[in-house]
Amino acid sequence: MEKVSENVTKTLIPGIGNVYFNLQKYSTTISEEHQFIYYFDAEGKFMGGFFNGISYRRGLDNRMMKKFFDEDKFKVKIFVDENEKRKIINDVIERVERIKRYVSENDEVVKRLEDILRWDYDALQKDAIKFLSIYKPISILPPDQYLSLVLQPAEGCSWNKCTFCSFYQDRRFRVKSPDEFKEHIKKVKEFFGRAIGLRKSIFLGDANALIIPQKRLIELLKIIHDEFPISKNISNLEFSFDGIYSFLDIFGAERKNLQEYIELKNFHVKRIYIGLETGDSELFKYLNKPGSPDECVDVVETIKKAGINVGIIVLAGAGGDKFYEAHIKNTIETILKMPFSNGDIIYLSPLVLDEADEYVKLMNELGARTLNKFEIAEQINRIKEGLKNLTQQGVKVTIYDIQEFLY
Ligand SMILES: C[S@@+](CC[C@H](N)C(=O)[O-])C[C@H]1O[C@@H](n2cnc3c(N)ncnc32)[C@H](O)[C@@H]1O
Ligand code: SF4
């Protein structure tokens, strides 16, 4: 075997060609001539790969998504069916078995391959059942939090009535007791095993966990700090999470005062994600969001004063052709009233209508036509253009694609 760089070795395997092994502390990537690339977590569970120009990702619930580009160069993301998923996983396992016959001289590579071979299709299916017994479905995360460790101190959405959102309609909002939360964390740790080291941060589920009354919230945050290293110097630690993150709706955000946000900041809450959706107050009413665009500006001011970053989510395409211009203009104006700084993010989420029945009904009544993918892309560009000065201040303005999410 030949060393290519600190973590990468390669070997020539008959019938395959050069096979590269990238051994990171918490992941393994195998590349066959850079044509077939597949990667695994520290327990050896298949996480995803790149085969013949199509990228695949497997979620911990063992669903699998594939992504490719359509003829208009728009990204297509679809969940594959059971047959295709089985075929991909079996193929990866067969490839690893074949490779293993030729790498007996490298103990670390052999050990990693043995770990991977323990996770065949049936073992991954069983693992998904375990995952679903610990978590309520993880419906959505902000894109920068896909690699977080999700904990669910609360389940569901305390509002659950926005016309376009169906993420949490399958569950009632409830907050866990400290004992129940400790038990949840114990199971989460068992489930992830060594693979927990790949996770970068802690995300509090579900839709607005920070709405938990402050006294209980602090109790729950203390438990998290007792159980996990957060914002610690990792020189003498296995790993450390960089902070705690959560969604919060505008109503929930208004219920806390500056002092309480400062307290959260001291518990290493780093960024709070709020759905503004639109700066247009008339359209906002059709979305049936709690609060208003102006109230969103106020809460962002308070949160930022406490030294916590924000992630603001805008619903691109909302209001169809009827609100096309007003949505762009008023959203830019509202966002520009907010006091952003380095580390804040503005997300633009292209509207998906699949389960937004209530919203579709309202828009039909109004006679608003749904925008096509080109019009939504154009609206996104116009909003980005209006916010371009913010990017120079270190604020990221980027896409939040709910169809790409898989935990
Ligand atoms: C969990 S929610 C937001 C956080 C918080 N609950 C709130 O309402 O402020 C996540 C985001 O997903 C987006 N979202 C929900 N339903 C959507 C849909 N049908 N199409 C596109 N984005 C959607 C919205 O932009 C929403 O802000
Ligand atoms: S957008 Fe947020 S507040 Fe509205 S229903 Fe969805 S999760 Fe709840």
The predicted model gives 82-108 an average pLDDT of: 93
The predicted model gives 83-108 an average pLDDT of: 93
Nearest to residue 225, comparing CAs of 173, 182, 161, 196? 182
For ligand 2, the distance from its centroid to the CA atom of residue 160, given in whole angstroms, is: 5
The predicted model gives 300-316 an average pLDDT of: 98
For ligand 2, the distance from its centroid to the CA atom of residue 386, given in whole angstroms, is: 26
- How far, in Å, are 217, 220, 245, 268, 308 from residue 264 at the CA level? 9, 11, 10, 7, 9
For ligand 2, the distance from its centroid to the CA atom of residue 128, given in whole angstroms, is: 26
Confidence at residue 247, expressed as pLDDT on a 0 to 100 scale: 98
- pLDDT tens readout for residues 47-57: 999 998 899 99
Confidence at residue 156, expressed as pLDDT on a 0 to 100 scale: 98
- pLDDT tens readout for residues 149-161: 999 999 999 999 9
Structural contact between residues 148 and 405, judged by C-beta atoms closer than 8 angstroms? no
Token pair belonging to 7:
């973590």
Smallest-distance ligand from the CA of 157: 2
Cα–Cα distance measured from residue 240 to residue 330, given in angstroms and rounded to the nearest whole number:
41
For ligand 2, the distance from its centroid to the CA atom of residue 344, given in whole angstroms, is: 21
Smallest-distance ligand from the CA of 164: 1
Instruction: Classify 267 in phi/psi space as left (phi over 0), alpha (psi -120 to 50) or beta.
Output: alpha
For ligand 1, the distance from its centroid to the CA atom of residue 140, given in whole angstroms, is: 8
Predicted confidence band at 83 (pLDDT cuts at 50, 70, 90)? Answer: very high
Percentage of the chain surpassing pLDDT 70? 100
User: Which residue's CA is the closest to the ligand 1 atom numbered 17?
Assistant: 165
- Give the other-Cβ count within 10 Å of 295's Cβ: 16
- In the chain the domains, ranked by start, together with CATH numbers, are 2-127 (no CATH), 135-404 (3.20.20.70)
**Ligand 2 atom with least separation from CA of 158:** 8
Question: Helix or strand or coil: residue 338?
Answer: coil
**Residue 53 buriedness (CB in 10 A; 0-12 / 13-18 / 19+):** exposed
Cα–Cα distance measured from residue 345 to residue 397, given in angstroms and rounded to the nearest whole number:
6
Q: Share the mean pLDDT of the chain.
A: 96
Looking only at the bridges linking them, the beta strands covering 309-316 and 345-350 are: parallel
- Give the other-Cβ count within 10 Å of 363's Cβ: 23
- pLDDT tens readout for residues 136-152: 999 999 999 999 999 99
- pLDDT tens readout for residues 341-370: 999 999 999 999 988 989 999 999 999 999
For ligand 1, the distance from its centroid to the CA atom of residue 275, given in whole angstroms, is: 6
Smallest-distance ligand from the CA of 173: 2
Question: Is pLDDT of 235 > 80?
Answer: no
Confidence at residue 302, expressed as pLDDT on a 0 to 100 scale: 98
The size of the chain, in residues, is 407
Smallest-distance ligand from the CA of 402: 1
Confidence at residue 276, expressed as pLDDT on a 0 to 100 scale: 98
**Ligand 1 atom with least separation from CA of 208:** 6
Smallest-distance ligand from the CA of 278: 1
Question: Is pLDDT of 238 > 90?
Answer: no
Structural contact between residues 318 and 266, judged by C-beta atoms closer than 8 angstroms? no
Instruction: Classify 236 in phi/psi space as left (phi over 0), alpha (psi -120 to 50) or beta.
Output: alpha
Confidence at residue 24, expressed as pLDDT on a 0 to 100 scale: 96
Place of tokens 């520009």: 336
For ligand 2, the distance from its centroid to the CA atom of residue 208, given in whole angstroms, is: 8
- pLDDT tens readout for residues 181-234: 999 999 999 999 999 999 999 999 999 999 999 999 999 999 999 999 998 877
Structural contact between residues 240 and 312, judged by C-beta atoms closer than 8 angstroms? no
For ligand 1, the distance from its centroid to the CA atom of residue 165, given in whole angstroms, is: 6
**Residue 181 buriedness (CB in 10 A; 0-12 / 13-18 / 19+):** buried
User: Which residue's CA is the closest to the ligand 1 atom numbered 14?
Assistant: 165
Name residues contacting ligand 1 (CB within 6 A).
Answer: 140, 157, 164-165, 167, 207-208, 247, 249, 273-275, 277, 313, 315, 349, 351-352, 356, 402
Cα–Cα distance measured from residue 154 to residue 160, given in angstroms and rounded to the nearest whole number:
14
Nearest to residue 348, comparing CAs of 390, 306, 307? 390
Name residues contacting ligand 2 (CB within 6 A).
Answer: 157, 159-160, 162, 165, 167-168, 207, 249, 275
Confidence at residue 85, expressed as pLDDT on a 0 to 100 scale: 97
